[in-house]
């Protein structure tokens, strides 16, 4: 499973629906279930994003499908995700590349 944070900034018309009482938790859970994933937490935030959702999804393609559908819905100014990474594994790979790569010049 891929662990990630979905980040969303609503368009003003969607915020009106939110204020009117739209059940966003149920909507987000249904969306993640549609791709075989699940919602770990949902938080509404103040700042660059209106909502941050911690999710698990079976693949990166599933997460890309989620953000593509969210952006296409017209409800968001932006919808994206941040994938959790393992810095130790990345560092190991970077060391291998650093030893093998010869820069130009």
Is residue 105 included in any domain, yes or no?
Answer: no
Residue 21 is part of a domain; what is its CATH number?
A: 3.30.70.1060
40-87 pLDDT per residue, tens: 999 999 999 999 999 999 999 999 999 999 999 999 999 999 999 999
Check: CB of residue 19 under 8 Å from CB of residue 3.
no
d(CA 87, CA 97): 15
pLDDT by residue (tens digit) across 17-49?
889 998 999 999 999 999 999 999 999 999 999
Tell whether 8 is covered by a domain.
yes
pTM to 2 decimal places: 0.85
In a domain, 32, yes or no: yes
Supply angle C-alpha 97, 100, 105, rounded to 5. Answer: 105
CA atoms within 13 Å, Cβ hemisphere of 70: 26
| The pLDDT of residue 105 | 86
> What residues make up the domain containing 49?
2-100
Per-residue model confidence (pLDDT) at position 22: 86
Q: Are 42 and 51 in contact (CB under 8 A)?
A: yes
């Amino acid at each position: 499973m891929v662990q990630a944070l979905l980040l969303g900034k609503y368009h003003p018309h969607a915020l009106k629906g939110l204020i009117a009482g739209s059940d966003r938790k149920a909507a987000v859970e249904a969306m993640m279930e549609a791709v075989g994933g699940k919602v770990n937490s949902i938080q509404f935030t103040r700042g660059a994003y209106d909502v941050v959702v911690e999710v698990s999804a079976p693949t990166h393609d599933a997460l890309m499908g989620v953000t593509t559908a969210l952006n296409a819905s017209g409800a968001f100014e932006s919808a994206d995700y941040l994938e959790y990474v393992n810095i130790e594994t990345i560092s190991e790979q970077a060391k291998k590349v650093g030893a093998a790569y010869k820069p130009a010049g």
